[in-house]
Structures are given as C-alpha cells and as structure tokens.
Amino acid sequence: DAKTTQPPSMDCAEGRAANLPCNHSTISGNEYVYWYRQIHSQGPQYIIHGLKNNETNEMASLIITEDRKSSTLILPHATLRDTAVYYCIVRVEGAGGTSYGKLTFGQGTILTVHP
C-alpha cells in the first residue's frame, strides 16, 4: 500500500466546507484512495473511495488530482458531528496475497468543527 501523509489537525467553522488533504505521491496505477473517519471512541466509518475521477456521495466529495499524487476530501457543510479523526488509505482494490482486506490506518487528521 502506498504511504499517505495527512496534516495532524485542522479546524473548520460550522456550516463551512471542510477540505482535508492527503498526499500519496507513490500511488500506483491500480491503487484506490479510501477515506474513513472515527468519531471519538466509535468504530471507524467508511466515507468514500475513488480511483481517478472525482466522486461524490451523500457524505462527502473526493477530489483526486490528475497525477493522482494527492487528494482532498470535502465535507461541503461541516457540522459539529463531523468532528472526528479522518483517515486516508491507499490500497489496491481487492488486494491479493496475504493482505486481503487488511486496512492500515495512519495517524489521520483530527478535524475539529467549531460553532
């Protein structure tokens, strides 16, 4: 799995867009970008994933640069409930060998949404 780099913490005002960056400069062509978040002491929650096109779902949007070396998770209208640790994970879809579905979580970005 490619290494990812995320800022340790970010702040955002409630109602504004939260833009969380992730660098993955060693990403290979068949690796996807996944985002998870973990609200304090709860189980991690899958948010979104993508390969090279921008993706949007009911939770967030994912923007991947054309060279795929970085991406941004966008929460369009952050609320206090979005305060969490956000993890960016790069992984081959359906990774084989002995790693299968093993997700490797880094330190992530602590997003704090302020009133």
Under the binding rule (CB under 8 A), the answer on residue 25 touching other proteins is: no
Closer by beta carbon to other proteins, 43 or else 115:
43
Q: Which residues are 113's β-sheet partners?
A: 12
Ramachandran angles phi, psi of 94, nearest 5°: 65, 50
Determine which residue in the list 41, 58, 66, 67 makes contact with other proteins, applying CB under 8 A: 41
Under the binding rule (CB under 8 A), the answer on residue 37 touching other proteins is: no
Closer by beta carbon to other proteins, 87 or else 113:
87
| Ramachandran sector of residue 80 (left: φ over 0; alpha: ψ -120 to 50; beta: rest) | alpha
Cβ atoms < 10 Å from Cβ of 16: 13
Q: How far is the CB of 16 from other proteins (least distance, A)?
A: 28
Give the number of C-alpha atoms closer than 13 A to the C-alpha of residue 70, restricted to the C-beta side.
Answer: 9
Under the binding rule (CB under 8 A), the answer on residue 103 touching other proteins is: yes
Residues that bind other proteins (CB under 8 A): 32, 34, 38, 41-46, 49, 89, 91, 93-96, 98-107
